[in-house]
Structure 1
Amino acid sequence: MTLYQELQLNAAGSKALIRNAKTKKEKQRHLFIYVMKVFITLAFCMAVVTAYSIIFGPKNSIAGVVILLSLLVLRAADFGIKTTHGIGVIGLIFGILAAGPRLSNMLPSSWAFIVNGICMFSILILSCHNIIMSNHFTFVLGYLLLLGYDVTGKDYLMRVAALASGALISAMIFYKNQKNRVHKRCFSHLFSEFHLQGARSQWYIKFALGVSSVLLIASLLGLPRAMWAGIATMSTLLPFEKDSVYRIKRRLPFNVVGGLLFLGLYYILPEGIYANLGLVGGIGVGFSAGYSCQTMFNTFGALVAGANLFGPAGAVALRIVCNGLGASYSYIFDKGFRFIFGWLSCRLCPDAN
């Protein structure tokens, strides 16, 4: 395996190489490459987000995060359709990201629920034809981040410009890396292959309704960071029930652990280091191969921003409440959806059963 190939591995792949190394020298080499990869990735992430913050304003640094997520995924993943058609999909998705969150924040909660549901359903149809790729995590997460860090006026115009540039860069990277992949499916197949009896199509509906409805509930409860509940539900409402249960069991406990760890560091470290706790979390995520540790360290970046608004203890408490709501709602909604959809299928299509 070349150095470049090893740098492309995820944390689990790198740890497997280190674990299976036959000699001490080989293990040290793999360990060095793994550490180097984490810090190269972190430096790249910081450079992209900083650049977008400088060019489009500090309130649009979150647009840099969304674009960064897109680049990291589209360099390796496709949409299961012809590459040239995939470029159009990228443009449509970024159009949704630019318009959907802003429109949702302008409307009352009930209408925002409809907008969010339509936007998320559209993102799933466009990006998640091959559910194994899990492209929806990237783009729905981007939608939720933009929803939570909304801007208006000139800042919004700059956000649209930032997302437009991100769409262009993402399309270029996507075409460069995916142009040699051959797919018989085209853009129209994303829609023609949707049917209510299909497991994938049913999951599209369940996911969009689940995430948008938990946002509605969090909004009606007056939770300041409704997007945290949405992200928790997004992370746990998976196509396969076994995977969902696995994540639901770990979402809240490891958010609690991450929050307590954040509080400990916050009160122990000097005040000037507080802003770097997000960086600590990023390093932790880079070295984490499993969902539990990733969940724990992912809390750091959110809590750094939340601490400025609610204080460190208030941010941790709110984070725990939102994640508890999102994970528990994901379980309840999944059970309810399966029961109701099964009942409707029996009523409307008795021959299919």
Structure 2
Amino acid sequence: MRFYDALQMDPSVLKRKISACDTGKEKAYYWTAIAVRSVLIVAFAIVFISLLSGVFGADNTPLAVALFCMMLGIRFVNFEYCIGDSLVALATVLAILVLVPSAAVVVPPVLLIPLHFTAFFALLYMTTQRPEMGNGGLYSFAYIYLTGNPVMGEDLVRRGLMALVGYLICGAILFAKHRHQHKTTRFHHVMGKFDLSQPVHLWQLRMALGVSLVMTAGQVFGVERFMWMGFACASLLSQYPYSGNTITRFRQRLVGAVAGSCAFFVLYLVTPEAFHPLMGPLGGLCLGFCTDYRYKMAMNCFGALMLGTGIYGLQGAVLLRIADTLLGVIFGLVFATLFHRLAAVRLLRPADADS
């Protein structure tokens, strides 16, 4: 296998190859691929995000982060319909990500649930026909992150311009990689297949409704850094295949958040101040080696807490991260249980009537 091909692989695939290796030389080859892959991704992220933030303003860094993630994901996963409709959908997705977070700041609270639900369901339906490919987690992250970091006025104009640049980049990748796929499938064909008896559509509905409710609750009750609560809830609801049992993901998310927050707290205290700005990239590097969900969540805490520490202080950021995660996973667990019971009643009713 060429080294370049190894760099394109997910760490889980590379680790399986390491387990199957017979010699130390082969193992070292794949471990080197994992390490180089992680370094390249973090380095490229720093350059890409810093460049866009420098041009369009630091307040628009969240969109730069979202565009970087979209750019990586769109190389491998398309929208499951023809390229023309996919490019229109991509433009619509970016418009939602730019406009809805700002709209959520000014609309009356009573309109927040329908606003979030409509926007988020549209995102999922346009981008995620196969949730197992990861698009659901990618675009839910982008929506929640940008909703937690809205901008207005001139910053909103600059965010729109950044989205245009992102569209040109992601659209070019989408066209280059996927233009020959799903040529006969139009988006209206996808819409015509909507059926809540199908697990994917039930998953989309649950995800959209749950995220819209938790985000609305966070905004209405003034929860500090409510997007952390949204991330935690979405992580439970994004699990696919669809299942009413989210207790395993509940434990994994909570354990990962607590472990990652505590590790950050200790490392922040024992390292010199000059090292602190590097803790975010360090988490990104370590994330490249992780395949277990709990470890991924722990490493994700580093970047989030690095930003949070500048706002709330070290202790405040760590406690807030854990508290928001706890609120989010509890909400997600309760919501998923209730939704599953209601959905089971609704979907089984016709069969019961026939019997």
Shorter-chain TM-score range: over 0.9
When structure 1 is superposed on structure 2, of 29-38 and 105-114 the one drifting more is: 105-114
- The count of residues paired between Structure 1 and Structure 2 equals 353
Q: Displacement, 1:179? A: 2.1
* Structure 1 segment 110-259 matched on structure 2, within 5 A: 110-237=110-237, 238-239=239-240, 240-241=242-243, 244-259=246-261
TM-score, structure 2 as length reference: 0.94
Residue 113 of structure 1 aligns to which amino acid in structure 2?
I
Within the candidate set 284, 287, 290, 1:288 is matched to 290
Within the candidate set 303, 306, 309, 1:307 is matched to 309
- 2:153 and 2:182 map into 1 onto residues whose CA distance is 43
Contact 1:144–1:231 at 8 Å: present in 2 too?
yes
When structure 1 is superposed on structure 2, of 234-243 and 30-39 the one drifting more is: 234-243
Query: Which secondary structure state, in structure 1, belongs to the residue aligned with residue 9 of structure 2?
Result: coil
Q: Displacement, 1:345? A: 4.1
Query: Which secondary structure state, in structure 2, belongs to the residue aligned with residue 196 of structure 1?
Result: coil
- 2:113 and 2:182 map into 1 onto residues whose CA distance is 38
When structure 1 is superposed on structure 2, of 40-49 and 103-112 the one drifting more is: 103-112
* Structure 1 segment 61-72 matched on structure 2, within 5 A: 61-72=61-72
Identity %: 26
Contact 2:34–2:288 at 8 Å: present in 1 too?
no
Contact 1:80–1:183 at 8 Å: present in 2 too?
no
- 1:352 and 1:192 map into 2 onto residues whose CA distance is 26
- 2:146 and 2:289 map into 1 onto residues whose CA distance is 27
Residue of structure 1 in register with 2:337 after alignment? 335
Q: Displacement, 1:272? A: 2.4
Structure 1 residue 25 corresponds to structure 2 residue 25: yes
Query: Which secondary structure state, in structure 2, belongs to the residue aligned with residue 80 of structure 1?
Result: coil
- 1:333 and 1:242 map into 2 onto residues whose CA distance is 10
**Runs ≥4 residues deviating over 6 A:** none
Deviations 1:119-152 (A, max 9, x none): 1100111011122222121112111111111111
Alpha-carbon RMSD: 1.8
* Structure 1 segment 8-87 matched on structure 2, within 5 A: 8-87=8-87
Residue 109 of structure 1 aligns to which amino acid in structure 2?
P
- 1:92 and 1:13 map into 2 onto residues whose CA distance is 33
Q: Displacement, 1:347? A: 5.5
Within the candidate set 250, 271, 274, 1:272 is matched to 274
TM-score, structure 1 as length reference: 0.95
